[in-house]
């Protein structure tokens, strides 16, 4: 089994940068959910979050040829693009409200909180670092079940291991990641 988080991302990025739509689709499927939750956390609206996710991946597709993947995961780079796209959307919404003379909607932040972005980036770095310490099988279980939404049985079948092993290992992985998340706050 290949190391899908380290060499896998670098290999897929290189193939996608060379024009491989299949490689880009795989990157998209791997990271669409985490990027969505980042956008949703920033914007607080599912529709806006979906739009920002699409904008994020359009920008990523254009910029992939320039990317030199220095980390083990593509997620921090995508998260940065997502934050910029979210900030652009918030500015455009604020400008639209001002131009329309509408009362400002307090549910949409008027400014981007730079301190929170730094905290979020550090949080993502810690999580990515912890994921990098997992075994290949554990990273595959996390990718299949948490990122791609596979059921335990489907992940077990794909990995050739028992259903219970997937369930138990994923539980330990999630506990480990929650511990890292709690320690970072």
What's the whole-model pTM score?
0.52
Going from N- to C-terminal start, the domains of the chain cover 1-112, 134-185
Torsion 174-177-179-185 (CA) sign: negative
DSSP run (H or E) holding 115: helix 114-132
Of 50-54, 94-98, 115-119, 142-146, the least confident: 115-119
**Residue with tokens 């990157």, as numbered in its chain:** 27
Q: What is the pLDDT of residue 6?
A: 41
Beta-carbon contacts of residue 58 (< 8 Å; ≥ 6 apart): none
Query: Is pLDDT at 3 greater than 50 in this prediction?
Result: no
The 3-state DSSP composition of the chain as helix, strand, coil percent (nearest 5) reads 75, 0, 25
CB 39 within 8 A of CB 52: yes
State pLDDT tens for residues 129-180. 888 888 888 888 887 777 767 788 888 888 999 988 989 998 898 888 888 7
Give the model's confidence band at 35: pLDDT under 50 very low, under 70 low, under 90 confident, else very high: very high
Q: Which CATH class is domain 134-185?
A: mainly alpha
- Cα-trace Rg, the chain: 18
CA nearest neighbour of 30 among 121, 129, 166, 143: 143
Dihedral (CA of 148, 123, 176, 43) sign: negative
The CATH class that applies to domain 1-112 reads mainly alpha
Percent of the chain with pLDDT over 90: 17
Q: CA-CA distance, 158 to 150, in Å (whole number)?
A: 10
């Amino acid at each position: 089994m290949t190391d899908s988080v380290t060499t896998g991302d670098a290999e897929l990025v290189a193939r996608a940068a060379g024009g491989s739509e299949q490689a880009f689709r795989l990157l998209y499927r791997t990271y669409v959910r985490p990027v969505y939750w980042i956008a949703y956390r920033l914007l607080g609206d599912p529709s806006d979050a979906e739009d920002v996710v699409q904008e994020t991946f359009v920008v990523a597709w254009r910029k992939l040829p320039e990317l030199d993947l220095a980390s083990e995961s593509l997620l921090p780079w995508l998260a940065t693009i997502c934050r910029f796209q979210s900030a652009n959307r918030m500015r455009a919404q604020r400008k639209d409200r001002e131009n329309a003379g509408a009362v400002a909607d307090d549910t949409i932040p008027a400014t981007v909180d730079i301190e929170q972005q730094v905290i979020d980036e550090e949080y993502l770095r810690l999580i990515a670092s912890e994921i990098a310490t997992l075994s290949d099988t554990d990273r595959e279980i996390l990718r299949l079940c948490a990122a791609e939404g596979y059921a335990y049985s489907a992940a077990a079948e794909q990995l050739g291991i028992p259903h219970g092993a997937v369930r138990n290992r994923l539980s330990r992985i999630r506990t480990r990641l929650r511990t890292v998340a709690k320690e970072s706050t």
